[in-house]
Chains A and B, each alone.
Chain A
Amino acid sequence: MPEPLLEIDDLWVEFHGRRGLLQAKDPFQAVKGVDLTVETGEAYAVVGESGAGKSTVARCIVGLQRPTRGRMTFAGASLAALRSRRGRRAIQMVFQDPYSSLNPRLTIGAAIVELLRVNGLAASQAAARARAVELLEMVGMSPSALDLRPRAFSGGQRQRIAIARALAVEPTLLVADEPVSSLDVSIQASILILLKRLQQELGLTLLFISHDLAVVRQLCDRVAVMRDGEVIERGSVASVLAHPEHEFTRSLLAAATELPPLEIRKEMQ
């Protein structure tokens, strides 16, 4: 049995506020003892409502948030020890807001090329640009995007660009934090389909953060349900959705998008 790609053990994250001039507020515990294992090549979902701590866990994995306590292991090595750029490169992130995840002043090409050059993945400017074109095509964007700025693109297109950028440094684990929540309904599907395809074609491991069980269902193999900083239920998507054990999971399920079955013949669809 191959070892899991990502192992999170008893993760705690506390935030310290300040109330009043002199007394410190009780620390707010955003993540309380979370355990997770993600196998190589799988699509793993972390689901919960706002404030559940799922984004905080994602940020810890990616290096944007320092955990208060706990162990994170990636490909057998401690994540904390992988602080160097080379190590962290293997884990990349796609963010929720397509309107703030791209620098408005940089052209798309400039943004991707910067990542390639900074990580030594392209020998020259020309090579970097060529690779950037490849990446854009991988996500279904035309090479003409290279010289345009983010404002020329819609939300869905920006998310594709953000995915291309994340893939530029050739990660093994892609963390997607609510990547479709800010998008129009008809565009969400295309991003989900893209993520699924990329995951299969590139052998990526996907950690998918969402509040939407229906979305998770379409994309992921296993799921962990979080509430108030804790994982309250986990398992394969099929079994958790079919037989939720925890009451909260049940209420999440009840609230998930439910439509009456479409009564249109298959060929017409």
Chain B
Amino acid sequence: MHAEPTAERPILTVADLRLVAVAKPGDAPVELVAGTTLHASRGEIVGVVGESGSGKSLTLRAIAGLLPPGVHLAGGEIDVAGIDVARAKARDLRRLNGETVGMVFQEPMSALNPTMRIGAQIAEAARAHSRAQAKNRAVDLLWRMGFKEPARQYRLYPHELSGGMRQRVMIAIALAADPPLLLCDEPTTALDATVTMRVLELLGDLVRELDIGIVFVTHDLGVAARLCNRIVVMYAGRVVEEGPADDVLRRPRHPYTLALLRAVPTRDGRVEDLQAIPGAPPGSGEPLPGCPFAPRCAFALPECLEPVQLVDLGDGRMSACRRHELLAEAARA
């Protein structure tokens, strides 16, 4: 099911992104995302994995230019297909969205207009030159999404569809204006597992057929394992690890990733191996002098209270752990 990136053709570069929240002017800003770096190319699916408070959803919204009120960019670069999203004016962003970036949200029922037929919603997003053209595009997209009778189903309302089908409509809307980059914010979390499988298959097919790139935010390691070429792990507002999916999952180079992998119940895992992570993720706004995972880390040393950087380990691997070599050695041959 994995799509293969067809050569390095980057469409998204995020460098050292910092997002802060200011409740009211004069308040001290609360840092929500501290120096996130990630990139994506056409033909690949990058998974951003993390739990609540990791900053993964906010990072995605920053890329889409959809930051909620009170949250803004305090530093860093966001480049989507050559466009500087970080510096772009709101006006320009609105024009870009759709054509540069398509976004798929978690809850299809609230992201779709319940009083508008699904075909019309897709057509509206298509930005075609004529109504007929828009309609054709919508019908075509419905077909691609797996709707067997697109001409008839064009006229359905969202509430007449199942959750999985609504999610496909949302994907169709996101792709209607032919953007090179698709951002997905936990799109399968609200769906049943079997439905999720089909949506993941669809996304994999789309990447191949349309040669787009996808950034897929999820808390579900299993989903990331199935779908993504590369995985970026975030914790407490920063990237702690990155690398090819299979590599990260088999040979993690950050204690958080390792701990997460040990805490997830898997289909074939052994009961005895399940291990909870002690403690809880830091709340936003708590000052984090060094590595944010140190308080819960089994490998922490006193130096871990000093600031840590994301280090390039070669072969596309990055880790923000001082002791990544320890984990490298721990990998079985």
Instruction: Enumerate chain A interface residues (CB-CB to B < 8 A).
Output: 49-50, 154, 156-157, 184-190, 192-193, 211-215, 217-218, 241, 251-265, 268-269
Contacts and interface: CB of A to CB of B under 8 A. Distances in A.
B193 A252 contact: yes
B263 A256 contact: no
Nearest to A184: B51
A265 B330 CA distance: 6
B194 A214 contact: no
B252 interface: yes
Contact of A259 (B259, B261, B281): B261
A217 B52 CA distance: 25
A260 B222 CA distance: 10
Contacts of B264: 185, 188-189, 214, 257, 259
Given A211-B192, A211-B193, A258-B226, A188 B266 contact: no
Given A264-B251, A264-B327, 4 more contacts: A193-B276, A255-B193, A259-B264, A269-B262
B38 to A, nearest CB: 20
Interface in B196-232: 196-197, 219-222, 225-226
B246 interface: yes
B95 interface: no
Interface string B233-273: 00000000000001001111000001111111111110101
A189 B192 CA distance: 21
Residue from B222, B267, B277 with most neighbouring chain A CB atoms (10 Å): B267
25 contacts: A185-B221, A186-B51, A186-B281, A187-B280, A188-B263, A189-B262, A212-B265, A213-B267, A214-B269, A218-B269, A251-B197, A252-B193, A255-B194, A258-B222, A258-B226, A258-B267, A259-B261, A261-B250, A262-B261, A263-B332, A264-B252, A265-B331, A268-B258, A268-B327, A269-B273
A192 B265 contact: yes
B246 A260 contact: yes
A218 B267 contact: no
Given A190-B276, A212-B193, A218-B274, A264 B260 contact: no
A257 B252 contact: no
Given A184-B219, A185-B51, A264 B331 contact: yes
What range describes how many residues of B lie at the interface? 35 or more
A153 to B, nearest CB: 10
The 7 closest A-B CB pairs, nearest first, are A257-B222, A190-B276, A255-B193, A268-B330, A189-B263, A49-B192, A189-B276
A71 B34 CA distance: 58
B275 interface: yes
Contacts of B196: 255
A257 B224 CA distance: 10
Contacts, number: 136
Given A189-B277, A257-B221, A263 B250 contact: yes
A190 B193 CA distance: 23
Nearest to A255: B193
- The main secondary structure of chain A at its interface with chain B is helix
Contacts of A258: 222, 225-226, 266-268
Contacts of B269: 214, 217-218, 259
Given A186-B259, A257-B220, A217 B267 contact: yes
A252 B259 CA distance: 26
A192 B314 CA distance: 38
Interface string B269-294: 10101111100110000000000000
B193 A263 contact: no
Nearest to A50: B192
Contacts of A184: 51-52, 219, 281
Residue from B196, B226, B269 with most neighbouring chain A CB atoms (10 Å): B269
B220 A263 contact: no
A245 B326 CA distance: 45
A120 B219 CA distance: 44
Contacts of B267: 213-214, 217, 241, 253, 256-258
A204 to B, nearest CB: 18
A189 B262 CA distance: 9
Contacts of A189: 262-265, 274-277
A255 B197 contact: yes
B266 A185 contact: no
Contacts of B226: 258
Contacts of B51: 184-186
Contact of A185 (B193, B220, B271): B220
Given A190-B276, A192-B274, A260-B246, A252 B265 contact: no
B271 A217 contact: yes
Contacts of A185: 51, 219-221, 260, 263-264
Contact of B265 (A50, A214, A241): A214
Contacts of B259: 186
A154 B261 CA distance: 21
Contacts of A251: 194, 197
A186 B277 contact: yes
B199 to A, nearest CB: 11
A46 to B, nearest CB: 15
Given A185-B220, A255-B194, A217 B265 contact: yes
A240 to B, nearest CB: 12
Contacts of B273: 269
